[in-house]
Structure 1
Amino acid sequence: MSNPNLALAVELRHQLHAHPELSGQEIWTKARLMEFLREHTHLELVDRGDWFYALCRGRGEGKIAFRADFDALPIEETCDLPYRSQCPGVSHKCGHDGHSAALALLGLTLEETGADRDVYLIFQPAEEVGGGGEACAALLKEEGIGEVYAFHNMPGYPLHTVALREGTMNCASKGVTFRFEGVSTHASTPELGRNPAQAVAGLVAALPGLTRREDHRGLVMATVVQMDVGEPAFGISAYRGALLLTLRAQYQQELDTLQERLTVLARQAADRDGLKLTMEEQDVFPETANHPAAVEKVRAAARRLGLPVVEMAEPMRGSEDFGWYLRQAEGAMFLLGDGEDHAPLHSVDFDFPDPLLETACKLFQALI
């Protein structure tokens, strides 16, 4: 790998870091990435609206894809970096600036080396809210792409360490809101109204029994993120209520079953108390289930490059919308260590380590 290419990728990463954009708002980011590849390569660029991909035509048969996300987080940057965020309240505290710069570095490398098969570089928005992966993953079926890979940087592992897992790599999760609406009345005559407090409290009380570890094959969780019942007015009996939960499970089927059971309980409570029930979903992430053959390819590539490999005993609890891709083609998500003492993801002191750009690029090359 030429040092000028690496320097360009580092500079790009710093530019992306300085101009972070939230999920669904990544206009400058997408434009800058396309401009960078257009300026430094002859790769085919295909604009798909809020995302794009670059294509290196290969010399032989077969197709492979790599994905990078490029959205940032609603976190104020407080650490003193020369390329610190210029956008108040927004910063790259998950490393997506590094993911995109690493994939762009692969583009620079392919410009020099070419490839033995077609290589697709997919640049995706809105990973943090689960809003980008499904649409981008459809490209795999459209183009008949048989393999797909991505990485995430991860504090806690030694720098350049490759962490792998067959099967579930990232748990499935989704946000679910149960809204109850009753009838208002004076607080002195609650029997004349319809109060949702018992319905909301009953759902919360049921959560421990629905998520017992001994009743499931893998991890199953339901986290209360907000409860909102009534108004701060002592003369009015509560008549509106909402319960917001994050459901999480190692296996997609067990998450779906948990949601079904909660829905049954919510409907029963609404019928019992004479309430209107509505339900909403958001931030939907499927299970990211790595294919064993693809994991073995990453493992072999890492060993050829002399990189340390860690076999993960448990999946990541945090979700990843790369799971959409793995429903369409064989592939794997893997982790690259940021350093054992590196600041945690989503913390104010986090910054993607630039040395990982070359490591990720070399691993992608080896997989090609």
Structure 2
Amino acid sequence: MKQENYGKAVALRHELHQHPELSNEETWTKQRLMDFLQEQTDLGIVDKGNWFYAVYRAGNDRLNIAFRTDFDALPMDEAIELPWASKIPGKAHKCGHDGHAATMIGFALEIDQEGAANNTFFLFQPAEETGDGAIQCVDLIKDEQIDEIYGYHNFSGLPYQTISAREGTTHFASKGMTIHFEGTPAHASQPEDGQNPALAIAKVVQALPGFTELKENTGKVLATVIQIAVGSEAFGVSPGEGDLKLTIRAYAEKDLNRLQTNVETFVKELASQEQLQVGFTYQDEFPETFNHKENVAKIHQAAESLGYEYTELEKAYRGSEDFGHYTKCTKGAFFYIGNGEEYPQIHTNAYDYRDENILRGVEMFKALANMTDQ
């Protein structure tokens, strides 16, 4: 990567870091990225509203290869001293999406100047953190007849700048589940006059291990209690409604669907017994992220060609990633660049993206953009 392009990418990363925006609110971020590409490159720009992509066309007989980046931030305060610290209280790039976006910008600069063996699509996606960004952008696969798609994430706990990937499932499927119970309030001295959902919620919590440990499950299944909300600080009132919030998660989507069905069935029967009304809502829904074998092989080949250390991940990550929507529609793979085994974890106050990983990400993308199936 040219030093000038690296410098521009790093400077833009710092600028993005100072102006974090949350999922589906990334209006300034998107416009800044589009403006940069329009000012600095001759790439075609396709504006799709919440998201956009840039295009380098090598020829009709070439592969169509897409590369995806995300650019949303987290609802966290900047808690460390940085020259490029967030200027917006309660919002910060504590997952490194500023670095991912800067990597894509550096990659676009390089391809614009040097060309590529294949038609190259630079996909800028919003709202990865809430799981609804990729689903907004997935039409790109069909519209541009994408043959392959790649993405990466910086990752703490992996050796510094090591490239890592695995075949098959690399991130668990998950969703946020809210169970809302409606009963009737009563005086706390006479709770039998109403229907308090507290006991029903307790029974659901106690039943969860039985659903996550079924022999039919093909991999790890989890149901994590996130919040229990029943009543208020009114000691004279037996409450008449309450919520149980869970994150349900599984290695395989079929196990996640089975867990959801089992919990819903159990809760409905319980609600009937307890004379309660019940409803279910879902949010932050992520598919499993599945890596195709041939594309993992290309990632390995790219790393070796660049002299980068490559490691095969032994286990899928329990955390979710919406990149899986793309690999349901075309071949592709998601890989990782190590921040260091002792580096602060993403989504923590001490974390900041390591600028040096921009260079590694750009070189990996360039190598993949220039691979052919011949």
Give the TM-score of the pair, scaled to structure 1.
0.98
**Amino acid corresponding to residue 285 of structure 2 in structure 1:** V
- How far apart, CA to CA, are the structure 2 residues paired with 1:246 and 1:74? 18
- What SS is found at the alignment partner of 1:144? coil
- What SS is found at the alignment partner of 2:87? coil
1:350 corresponds to 2:344: no
Once the 2 structures are TM-superposed, how far is the Cα of residue 340 of structure 1 from its aligned partner? Answer: 2.1
**Amino acid corresponding to residue 27 of structure 1 in structure 2:** T
Deviations 1:31-62 (A, max 9, x none): 11001111110001111111100011113422
- What SS is found at the alignment partner of 1:54? strand
Once the 2 structures are TM-superposed, how far is the Cα of residue 232 of structure 1 from its aligned partner? Answer: 2.3
Q: What is residue 6 of structure 1 aligned with on the other side?
A: 6
Once the 2 structures are TM-superposed, how far is the Cα of residue 214 of structure 1 from its aligned partner? Answer: 5.2
**Amino acid corresponding to residue 129 of structure 2 in structure 1:** E
Q: What is residue 248 of structure 1 aligned with on the other side?
A: 249
Q: What is residue 71 of structure 2 aligned with on the other side?
A: 70
**Amino acid corresponding to residue 39 of structure 2 in structure 1:** E
Q: What is residue 293 of structure 1 aligned with on the other side?
A: 294
Please show how residues 1-368 of structure 1 align to structure 2 within 5 Å: 1-59=1-59, 60-212=61-213, 215-368=216-369
Deviates further, 147-156 or 73-82: 73-82
- What SS is found at the alignment partner of 1:106? helix
- How far apart, CA to CA, are the structure 2 residues paired with 1:199 and 1:325? 39
Contact conserved, 1:156 with 1:338, CA < 8 A, in 2? yes
Deviations 1:114-137 (A, max 9, x none): 122211110011111112111112
Deviations 1:143-172 (A, max 9, x none): 210100000000121221011111111100
- How far apart, CA to CA, are the structure 2 residues paired with 1:241 and 1:88? 31
Contact conserved, 1:152 with 1:335, CA < 8 A, in 2? yes
Deviates further, 274-283 or 191-200: 191-200
Contact conserved, 1:162 with 1:334, CA < 8 A, in 2? yes
User: C-alpha root-mean-square deviation of aligned residues, in Å?
Assistant: 1.2
- How far apart, CA to CA, are the structure 1 residues paired with 2:3 and 2:120? 22
- How far apart, CA to CA, are the structure 1 residues paired with 2:191 and 2:161? 62
Once the 2 structures are TM-superposed, how far is the Cα of residue 238 of structure 1 from its aligned partner? Answer: 2.0
Deviations 1:164-207 (A, max 9, x none): 11111110010000001011222233232122122211110001
Deviates further, 230-239 or 52-61: 230-239
Once the 2 structures are TM-superposed, how far is the Cα of residue 215 of structure 1 from its aligned partner? Answer: 4.9
Q: What is residue 372 of structure 2 aligned with on the other side?
A: none
Once the 2 structures are TM-superposed, how far is the Cα of residue 15 of structure 1 from its aligned partner? Answer: 0.7
Quickly say closer, same or farther: Cα 1:213–1:296, change in 2 above 3 A.
farther
Contact conserved, 1:162 with 1:309, CA < 8 A, in 2? yes
**Amino acid corresponding to residue 357 of structure 1 in structure 2:** I
**Amino acid corresponding to residue 354 of structure 2 in structure 1:** P
Deviates further, 187-196 or 298-307: 187-196
- What SS is found at the alignment partner of 1:365? helix
Aligned length: 368
Once the 2 structures are TM-superposed, how far is the Cα of residue 7 of structure 1 from its aligned partner? Answer: 0.8
- How far apart, CA to CA, are the structure 1 residues paired with 2:287 and 2:68? 16
Give ranges in structure 2 of 5+ residues lacking alignment: 370-374
